[in-house]
Structure formats: structure tokens, C-alpha cells
Amino acid sequence: MTISDFQRRIEEIYFERDCRRGRDRTFMWFIEEIGELSRAMARPRDDDGKNLREEFADVFAWLATLASIEGVSLEEVALEKYGDGCPKCGKSPCDC
């Protein structure tokens, strides 16, 4: 699945509801998910890392939702900024 595929999938599932909620309230949900990820990272990992993986997935999904509300393609902007390596030095790995 590409980043664009994932963003479209999240739109299929949540876009209408998220648009009704609005950008600001959706952003607050995103921040809450970042807090949950932070707490998961601070705890000792469970045997399979399930909670940590779930929190990373949730943060990515909420980021995709915010990008969609703003009309931004995550795949396009990621490639624009990082497609040729480090945005500052242009190398991969970064040599800054």
C-alpha cells in the first residue's frame, strides 16, 4: 500500500465525519494520539510491541485525516521535500 493508498483509505472510512468535526477539533484528536504514542514509548514494551504499533498507526491515520481536510497529499509533499535525500545537503544518508 502506498502513502496515497493509505490516505485514500482513511478518507473512505472517516473523511465525512472528520470534515464535520472540522480542522481544529480534528487536530486536537491528533494531538491526543501523539500523547498516547508518547505514553506507549515511555512504557516497557510488551512482548510483541502491539500497543506501540497501534499508536504509530493511529498517529499516521490522524495525520492523513488532517492532510486530507487541508487538501494535501502526504505522498506528494513527502516526495517533494525528501525525495532527493536530505532537504539541506541533498545527500542520503544526510551529511549535515
* pLDDT tens digits for range 44-65: 877 678 899 999 999 999 999 9
Residue at 33 is within a domain: yes
The span from the CA of 57 to the CA of 6, in Å, is 11
**CATH number of residue 28's parent domain:** 1.10.287.1080
Residue at 21 is within a domain: yes
Residue at 92 is within a domain: no
Q: What is the pTM of this model?
A: 0.90
The radius of gyration computed from the CA coordinates of the chain, to the nearest angstrom, equals 16
Residue at 31 is within a domain: yes
Work out the mean pLDDT of the chain and round it to a whole number: 95
* pLDDT tens digits for range 2-26: 999 999 999 999 999 999 999 999 9
Residue at 90 is within a domain: no
Q: What is the domain range of residue 54? A: 3-82
The number of folded domains in the chain is 1
C-alpha cell read off for 31: 494531538
Residue at 89 is within a domain: no
Residue at 94 is within a domain: no
Residue at 45 is within a domain: yes
C-alpha cell read off for 32: 491526543
